[in-house]
Amino acid sequence: MRVLVLFNAAAGARSSHRRLPDAISLIEEAGWQVESVATHSVRHTEDLARTAGAAGFDVVAAAGGDGTINVVANGLAAADPDAPRAALAVLPAGTGNVLARDLGLPVPVPGVMDTLLETARWLTRSSATAVDLGRVSNANGQRYFVCWGGVGLDAAVTAQVAANPAAKQWLGALAFVASAVGQVREIYRAPLYTVQVDDQKFQGRGALAVASNIQRYAVVFDMAPNAAMNDGLLDVTFFHDITVFNGMDRLWKLTTAQHLGTPGIGYATGRRVLIDADTPQPVHVDAEPFGVTPVTIEVLPGAINLMVPPTDDARRLVRVPDRQ
């Protein structure tokens, strides 16, 4: 098994980057061949991932957070379809590490706990499985996502954090919390949204709409508790008509995964999602800013292979059909 490890030394948890050579040694002890590259741009990372299969690599491991995973996945999705197919692997060393959490992998706590060696052990026990990608299309072009494509409040938070990378580096997840607190007042000046999921339509004064490919969102929320990465569907959640009277109730229900069926929280699954608003709203792709609405979001079944660890969480997220 040949593995290409890609990492951005300027992002994520510095302590994890320092442990990366030890993690690579551990993977090599399992009999795998490993090469690592410190990437210097999104294009550089995507190009390396795009050509990895043709270069003889079986796995491309993203050593970073969900943003790094997204860049690697976009490269893999753009690979020559006639070339051997390299699988995406996750070595969590980022800020939120939400996909890693959903897969049941241990994640680092900056300055307190490093988990890179433990996740390297899980990698050597993982197997490649075809999973879906989402694809966002708007005036900015097209971008694939592994976890989510979102519109509204969360995208505004993402854009604000992305504009201050130094704060994100030092504050980690708290940078998102601080930005979200500052955006709360915007909920009560919400624009009119139209969200169409296949043949279902939702309308209302929206706070945010999220198309999920995984279950967890923003570290602590089980936004799409029924989602699976290989079901050929996206799980869409639309929060609308929030007032000062019902806002805390809806947040509590989201926090406790009781939000499905709650008035003002639309939920549907489908293959194609159209989102528009009466004023342009910010869009994010795996927590990276990506223009504004209107936006089309589609699922691409089995678009890439993912190295899935043998954890209980991963079995819920990447489901194996029952054998007859």
Q: What is the pLDDT of residue 141?
A: 97
Of the CA atoms within 13 Å of residue 34, those in its CB half-sphere come to: 23
Q: What is the pLDDT of residue 284?
A: 94
Residues of the chain with pLDDT under 70: 10-17, 110-112, 156-189, 243-253, 255-258, 321-324
Domains of the chain by range and CATH? Answer: 2-126+309-317 (3.40.50.10330), 136-301 (2.60.200.40)
Q: What is the pLDDT of residue 324?
A: 35
CB 314 within 8 A of CB 230: no
Instruction: Report the alpha-carbon distance of residue 173 to residue 66 in Å, rounded.
Output: 12
Of the CA atoms within 13 Å of residue 267, those in its CB half-sphere come to: 16
Q: What is the pLDDT of residue 218?
A: 78
Q: What is the pLDDT of residue 295?
A: 98
Instruction: Report the alpha-carbon distance of residue 3 to residue 16 in Å, rounded.
Output: 18
Residue-wise pLDDT for 191-233, tens only, equals 999 999 999 999 999 888 999 999 998 777 888 999 999 999 9
Q: What is the pLDDT of residue 186?
A: 55
**Beta-carbon neighbour count of residue 322 at 10 Å?**
5
Q: What is the pLDDT of residue 247?
A: 63
Q: What is the dihedral of CA 268, 231, 211, 259, to 10 degrees?
A: 50
**Beta-carbon neighbour count of residue 244 at 10 Å?**
8
